[in-house]
Copies of this chain bind each other. A is one copy, B any other.
């Protein structure tokens, strides 16, 4: 029972399910095969536009893929940071505080 944890795994699985080659998807994405290979294996980060494009090309739910992608960017930002988890919680609190403030507008 294998889970798709990372954006890369999701992309690769779906590409293979559709029987597409790296070359083909890379062409549609307008990047070199090497880049897509690295993105799928998590060696490189994709750009947001590429994630959006890939969702279209591979018929993946765009929102889910973006959430996945953004969460990885967030985790990348706090990698090796001992206080990362606490910072995440503070960030959430700040967002919430801002949301409730918005009600006034």
Residue contact A90 to B68, C-beta cutoff 8 Å: yes
Residue contact A87 to B74, C-beta cutoff 8 Å: yes
Copy total for this chain: 2
Using A70-B84, A83-B63 as known contacts, say yes or no to A89 and B90 having CB atoms under 8 A apart. Answer: no
| 6 interchain residue pairs of minimum CB distance | A70-B87, A71-B90, A71-B91, A74-B91, A71-B87, A67-B87
**A residues apposed to B, CB below 8 Å:** 5, 63, 66-71, 73-75, 77-78, 81, 83-92, 94-95, 99
Given A70-B78, A88-B95, 6 extra CB contacts under 8 A? A67-B87, A67-B90, A69-B87, A71-B90, A73-B87, A75-B95
